[in-house]
Structure 1
């Protein structure tokens, strides 16, 4: 049986995580509040899906041990991979951050996303 959840229901039940911090990311400036709800993790722990929300701010990300695919549900952000052109993301956009991706995320409006993290 497939595991399903209504996106609006999931976003309404996000739990506060406090502020974004290492090892997830390094905040560059004011604290960034985060909320999340894990939806599914496989038995091996190599795949996790869920919903995440973050307040505006800039942070540095280094996907050294895992990769992530996101679907932006709300808000706006710019992702800037080291030595590449920045890319703007907004509602409906999908982005992949493969293992080894390094760069910054600048969130302009509170961001909500669905994520898939893989190891």
Structure 2
């Protein structure tokens, strides 16, 4: 059984921005001004997956992604210009799934604060981008199986997924419900609205309010209670 203490999480990503760790300058600077700070939630022994919170000051650098990276821009403004001409304008509320092998230039115009996960994925011609994921209408994913038998609907949207299921990202929403849950794969979540309480058989509980992020290990099992409509960004592998 995995203790909630072993589920890395940050309850309020905005509140911790003044106490992030210095990650130094970018590896391939163009103008040399940008500086990184952040906090890791999880990093695998071979470097992947990696999930956490990242902040960068204005400036520009060249970026070559060795893996898929899901980025949710909490604040700030940036532009990602790929070598093939694709342009992704990122501002508050932008959710982008940059695919493995993405190459180009990043320009930050205002300090960006980003929650992210990196994992092995695959190439794609265009970058999947969602604007305003908190307000986007989602597809009906059917009724949730609740512990008390009450009706609760779920909705969602898959943003990107490899043919073998790797690097799946998307949005998921559930009405108020109390459900038995198991995470079959490692999963990063960012709660956009509502809140979720994850409780194990030993009674230990982890509360994730709106604005929080967490990284669940594969095999985590317990009860999830959403006391209002709750929406999250997710990525698993």
TM-score (norm 1): 0.84
Q: Extract structure 1 runs of 4+ deviating beyond 4 A.
A: 42-45
Question: Which residue, out of 6, 15, 19, partners 1:9?
Answer: 15
Greater Rg by CA:
2
Q: How many angstroms does 1:42 deviate by?
A: 4.5
Equivalent pair of 1:58/1:105 in contact (CA under 8 Å)? yes
Matched residues, number:
114
State how 1:32-71 maps to structure 2 within 5 Å.
32-42=34-44, 45-63=47-65, 65-71=66-72
Spell out, residue by residue over 1:29-79, the C-alpha distance to the aligned partner (whole angstroms, 9 max, x if none).
Answer: 13311101001234664311100111111111111x322110001100011
The alignment partner of 2:101 has SS state of: coil
Question: Which residue, out of 29, 32, 37, partners 2:31?
Answer: 29
Equivalent pair of 1:39/1:50 in contact (CA under 8 Å)? yes
The separation in 2 between residues aligned to 1:44 and 1:31, in whole angstroms, is: 30
Specify the alignment match of 2:90 in structure 1.
Answer: 89
Q: Which moved more, 1:102-111 or 1:76-85?
A: 76-85
Equivalent pair of 1:55/1:111 in contact (CA under 8 Å)? yes
Larger relative contact order (C-alpha < 8 A, sep ≥ 6)? 1
Q: How many angstroms does 1:107 deviate by?
A: 0.4
Cα RMSD after superposing both structures: 1.8
The separation in 2 between residues aligned to 1:15 and 1:46, in whole angstroms, is: 20
